[in-house]
Amino acid sequence: MKGPALLNWSVARLLTEHPYAADFFSACNMPEMDKDQTIADSLRTLSPDHLEALGLDQTTLVDRFLAFIDQMRQLQTKLDTAIRQVTIIGGHDKDGNPEDAQVNLMAGEVIAVVGPTGAGKSLLLSDIECLAQGDTPSGRRILINGQTPDETQRLSGEHRLVAQLSQNMNFVMDLSVHDFLMLHAESRLVEDVDEVVRQILSTAVSLAGEPFDGHTPITALSGGQSRALMIADVACLSASPIVLIDEIENAGVDRRQALNLLVKKEKIVLMATHDPLLALSGSRRLIIHNGGIAAMLATTEEEKTVLDQLDRLDARLAHLRHQIRMGERIVAIGE
């Protein structure tokens, strides 16, 4: 799309295809615009006094408008850039022994990171989060689509490739859930903000199993509700294609549903876990010992059979938890 050609669009078309243009008009304190009028004619309606107050002339106003639209379109393109593969190139363990490992992670894949407490699972997630380039204690390097990430990918907050969900989710903003989601959706330049917010909220309540609504203050959410909200937000709205989860089993959410949701959104999901149900839910398990990558195990057909058995046990435990919460008596389980 050539910049000057945009000036011949109607205001209605512009706001439909590039809704963030409304922010430019608002910043210029423009009066209500005729939606059928062209952009060029609308910009010409500003009086010389109005332009002087803005510190602009007519030519500069047009140039600023076209530059704003171009910058926002470039940002949207960067946010939509597909990440197909992440590669972990081994560094060394806690004793300095080299990791003989190169691990490729693909979009739509769930990888479980397992190992004893203190083995270095969180350090691996941290290396991926910062897209390490041999500059962390592990000495690992992270490649994106086979290439070394540039400084924008590593350091720019607005172009982050990684979303991390830690064990503790604490909000400090004095907002309702609805206002919080609206703020995030608008910052992501989505077209149907209300529908996206509705989808995230509905998904979050389903994951949490504890009812809450858009009027609930985010500071009043329980740990499980907070984690469910963030998982739904990452799955439905976040542009980050890589999701790191640290011990989701402690989150009070529907764990399998959360993973299935992220996989459907073609995210690359790594989760540090001690939960056998979650570990076997992944396509592979990355084994960490003494701070280093010790092995990568693919989930076998026999393990998938075990997973089915764990699913049934987990459903029974979930039912018992619900009965306890509701104050019901627990009866013996039949053979």
Residue 1 has pLDDT above 50, yes or no: no
The CA distance from 223 to 320, in Å, is 20
Whole-model pTM: value is 0.64
pLDDT digits (tens, 9 = 90+) for 142-183: 998 888 887 766 665 555 677 777 655 666 677 899 998 988
Cα 297 to Cα 37, 91, 103, 127, 246: the distances in Å are 62, 19, 11, 21, 19
For the chain, what percent of residues have pLDDT higher than 70?
87
Give the pLDDT score at 309. Answer: 92
**Which candidate, 320, 318, 312, 330, places its Cα nearest to that of 208?**
318
Across residues 48-70, what is the average pLDDT?
86
Domains of the chain: 4-79 (no CATH), 85-299 (3.40.50.300)
Q: What are the pLDDT digits (tens) for 271-304?
A: 888 889 889 988 899 999 999 999 999 999 999 9
Residue 79 has pLDDT above 60, yes or no: no
Contact between residue 268 and residue 241 where contact means Cβ atoms under 8 Å apart: yes
The whole-number average pLDDT for the span 43-64 is 86
What pLDDT is attached to residue 286?
94
pLDDT at res. 311:
86
Task: Among 95-104, 181-190, 228-237, name the one with the lowest average pLDDT.
Answer: 181-190
Helix and strand totals (H; E) in the chain: 13, 9
Largest interatomic CA distance in the chain: 86
Write the pLDDT tens digit of every residue in 215-231. 998 888 887 788 888 88
Per-residue pLDDT at 268: 85
**Poorest-pLDDT segment among 19-28, 124-133, 138-147, 275-284:** 19-28
pLDDT at 34 over 70: yes
State percent of the chain over pLDDT 90.
20
